[in-house]
Amino acid sequence: MSSKKIVSSESVTEGHPDKMCDLISDAILDEALRQDPSSRVAIETGTKNGGVMVFGEMTTNAYIDIPRVVRDTIKNIGYTKSEYGIEWETCSVWVQITEQSPDISQGVSKGKGLHRGQGAGDQGMMYGYACNETKEFMPLPIALAHELAMKLSETRKKGEIAYLRPDGKSQVSIEYNEQGKPVRADTIVVSTQHDGAIAHERIKKDVVEKIITPICKEWIDKDTRFLVNPTGAFVRGGPYADAGLTGRKIIVDTYGGIGRHGGGAFSGKDPTKVDRSAAYATRYIAKNIVAAGLAEKCEIQFAYAIGVAEPVSINIDCFGTNKIPIDSIENLAYEFFPTKPSDIIKVLDLRRPIFKKTAAYGHFGRNDPDFTWEKTDKVALLRKEAGIKK
C-alpha cells in the first residue's frame, strides 16, 4: 500500500458565474459602506443567460444605483460581448430588496433586544485555519490554485493570450509525504473559456507555458500531469453555460477543503454578520498562532447565538503540532484577540468598502493591507507569553 497522500483544491476566475455573483454582491455592499459605514446588508445575486437578479435585505442611508453597480462589475470582469455569456450594457437587472428584519436588527443593535451588547447577526459556527506550508500560511494546493486562476485572468486582461474569455477554473493536486509535507504536484488542471476555432493543442501549449509553469515550476516533475480543457473545448461559458449564485464557492473562498467550514458564505454580508467577520477573526488568530511558532497548523472554531455578543464556544485544534498546551493557546486567544462582533469589527476595521476585492481568488492568504485579518502583529507578544524564542 502506498504511503503517499494526494490533496486537491480548486479555484475559479472572476468570470465564473458564481464568482461574478459574489463580486456583484460585494460591490453593492462596498457602495453601501462607502456612503454609510453603518449599513446593514445581506445581498444575494443570481444570474443566467442575459439576466442578473439581485435580492435580499438592506438597511442604509445610502442611495445605490444597483443596476449601474451590476453593469460596471460585469464590464470590469470582461463580459463585453454577448457571445462570452453575458454583456454588461444589454443584460437585464432585476432587483428585489427589503429592509432588514426588525427582529434581527434589535439583536445586532447595541442597547436593544434581550442582550445589551452588539450581538451576533446570526447563529452558527465559523472556522479559521493556518499552516506553515507556504509563506502565506495557507495550504499549498489552494495557494497554487488561486495563483493559477489569478494568472489566467491577468493574462487575459493583458492580451498575452488574445483568445481567452472570462470564465475559467484551476485545480491542483499535491502529493504529501509520510511527514505531511508537500513534495510535488501530481496533477494540475486548468479549464479556460476561449474563442471558437482555436485548436486544443495551441490552448494547452499556451496555458502550460504561460500560466502553469511560471506558477508551479517548483513543484512540477517529470510525472506531473497537465489537464488543460479536458473536455476538448470551452467556448460557451459564463451565465449562458451555467447559472451563477452568490455563496456557492465557499471552499474556494477559504482553505480549499483543508480544514473545516461552518457553511456560511461571505459575499454580500456586512461585518455584523459573523459568517463573515468571525471567519476573518478566526483566521487572524490561527495565522498569528502559527506565525509565532506555537503550532505548525491551527484550526479555530467560534460558535455564536443570534443577538448574543460572546461566542457560546471557542475550540482550537492544532492536530498535535502545538509546542505548548492547547489550554494555554486558548487562554492566549481569549486574552489578546477580539471575539465579540463589535470588537472584531473595530480591531479589524471592517466598516470600510474593501470587500469587492475579497470576492475572487480567496479571502485568505492575500498580501493586501486592507486584508487586516492577515496581519501578524501579535507574533512577538504570543512568543513572549508562551516563552518561545524566535
Q: Which residues are catalytic?
A: 16, 18-19, 44, 57, 169, 234, 242-243, 248-249, 269, 273, 275
In the three-class reduction of DSSP (H, G, I as helix; E, B as strand; rest coil), residue 218 is classed as helix
Joined grid coordinates for residue 139? 495550504
Q: What is the DSSP letter of 99?
A: P
Do 45 and 286 touch, CB atoms closer than 8 A? no
Tell me phi and psi for residue 264, to 5 degrees.
Answer: -85, 135
Q: What is the DSSP letter of 376?
A: -
Parallel, antiparallel or unpaired: strands 92-98 and 124-131: unpaired
Amino acid identity, residue 344? Answer: I
Beta-bridge partners for 53: 46, 94
Do 287 and 351 touch, CB atoms closer than 8 A? no
In angstroms, the CA 319 to CA 299 distance is: 8
| 3-state SS string for 78-92 | CCCCHHHCCCCCCCE
Q: What is the DSSP letter of 15?
A: T
In the three-class reduction of DSSP (H, G, I as helix; E, B as strand; rest coil), residue 352 is classed as coil
Q: How far is CA 324 from each of CA 22, 297, 300, rounded to the nearest angstrom?
A: 39, 13, 16
